[in-house]
């Protein structure tokens, strides 16, 4: 409990810091979004144009970072609805299409069409996109990206919805696993290190848990355990498989 409290306090002060920072950053970056256009209008020199493009790209990326930091920090509860897994997976698959190299095979599987969770659609979609994009980036040589939604039974929480995102990528060593959910921890040159921590915030906000298993050189598997939407939870259905290792 003490550790949880410390984590919450750390996040709280981090949130304050980040809110101020992203606000200032947006203002500082403003010229970078306008000036490149002015330069392009006034010059025919291809070298100058290229530099203008570089500045514009930096401005765009910086702006995006500031935005994502702000929305992460706001963390306000968004309106929720019953989000069906079939619809969600279809949308995620469509959005991923342009980001998936030919060497990565996407496998989508919804065990029961009625599977749903009470959540904000956009937020939950963002969680899956984050996890999938990480998975794709972890498979530079290709492999299978599996997205599975199924029932799972937890001895404490009862019937749950399990969403699994599994890749056959580079995997993670123990040191990386330890720091995975630390804000700003990234091993990528263009990473923000905010993807997984915001995934966890959203999942925990829904009363769920996120857990990870990874083997270096073999791949990584993220499990989201979420409360089943009410109508399904009342439905006995088939006896679901037990979750190996409990709630992780």
| 138 belongs to the binding site for ligand ADP (CB under 6 A) | yes
Q: Which is nearer to ligand ADP, 128 or 157 (CB)?
A: 128
Span interacting with ligand ADP, options 12-20, 48-56, 106-114, 134-142, rule CB under 6 A: 134-142
Q: Which is nearer to ligand ADP, 120 or 186 (CB)?
A: 186
Chain-centroid distance, C-alpha 2: 27
| 62 belongs to the binding site for ligand ADP (CB under 6 A) | no
Residues in 173-192 that interact with ligand ADP by CB under 6 A:
176, 180, 185-188, 191-192
Span interacting with ligand ADP, options 11-19, 56-64, 127-135, 237-245, rule CB under 6 A: 127-135
Residues in 148-177 that interact with ligand ADP by CB under 6 A:
167, 169-170, 172, 176
Q: Which is nearer to ligand ADP, 194 or 225 (CB)?
A: 194
3-state SS, the chain, equals CHHHHHHHHHHHHHHHHHHHHHHHHHHHHHHHHHHHHHHHHHCCCHHHHHHHHHHHHHHHHHHHHHHHHHHHHHCCCCCCEEEEHHHHHHHHHHHHHHHCCCCEEEEEEECCCCCEEEECHHHHHHHHHHHHHHHHHCCCCCEEEEEEEEEEEECCCEEEEEEEEEECCCCCCHHHHHHCCCCCCCCCCCCCCCHHHHHHHHHHHCCCEEEEEEECCCEEEEEEEEECCHHHHHCCCCCCCECCCCCC
User: For the window 189-228, what string marks contact with ligand ADP as x by the rule CB under 6 A?
Assistant: --xxxxxx-----------------------x--------
| 127 belongs to the binding site for ligand ADP (CB under 6 A) | no
Least CB distance to ligand ADP at residue 172 (A) = 5
Q: Which is nearer to ligand ADP, 84 or 195 (CB)?
A: 195
Helices 2-42 and 46-74, interaxial angle, to 10°?
150
Residues in 15-54 that interact with ligand ADP by CB under 6 A:
none
Contacts with ligand ADP, residue ranges (CB under 6 A): 130, 134-135, 138, 167, 169-170, 172, 176, 180, 185-188, 191-196, 220
């Amino acid at each position: 409990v003490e550790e949880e409290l410390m984590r919450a306090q750390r996040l709280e002060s981090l949130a304050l810091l980040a809110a101020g920072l992203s606000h200032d950053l947006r203002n500082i970056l403003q010229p970078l979004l306008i000036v490149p256009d002015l330069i392009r209008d006034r010059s025919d020199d291809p070298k100058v144009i290229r530099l203008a493009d570089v500045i514009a790209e930096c401005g765009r990326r910086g702006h995006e970072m500031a935005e994502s930091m702000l929305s992460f920090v706001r963390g306000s509860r968004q309106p929720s609805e019953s989000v069906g897994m079939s619809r969600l997976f279809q949308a995620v698959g469509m959005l991923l299409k342009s980001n998936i190299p030919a060497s990565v095979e996407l496998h989508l599987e919804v065990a029961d069409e009625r599977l749903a969770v009470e959540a904000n659609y956009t937020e939950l979609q963002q969680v899956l996109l984050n996890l999938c994009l990480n998975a794709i980036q972890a498979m530079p040589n290709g492999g299978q990206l599996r997205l599975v939604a199924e029932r799972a039974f937890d001895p404490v929480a009862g019937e749950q919805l399990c969403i699994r995102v599994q890749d056959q990528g580079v995997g993670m060593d123990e040191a990386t696993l330890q720091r995975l959910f630390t804000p700003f921890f990234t091993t990528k040159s263009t990473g923000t290190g905010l993807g997984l921590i915001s995934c966890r915030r959203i999942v925990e906000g829904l009363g769920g848990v996120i857990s990870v298993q990874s083997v270096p050189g073999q791949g990584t598997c993220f499990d989201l355990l979420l409360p089943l939407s009410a109508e399904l939870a009342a439905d006995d259905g088939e006896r679901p498989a037990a979750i190996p290792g409990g709630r992780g």
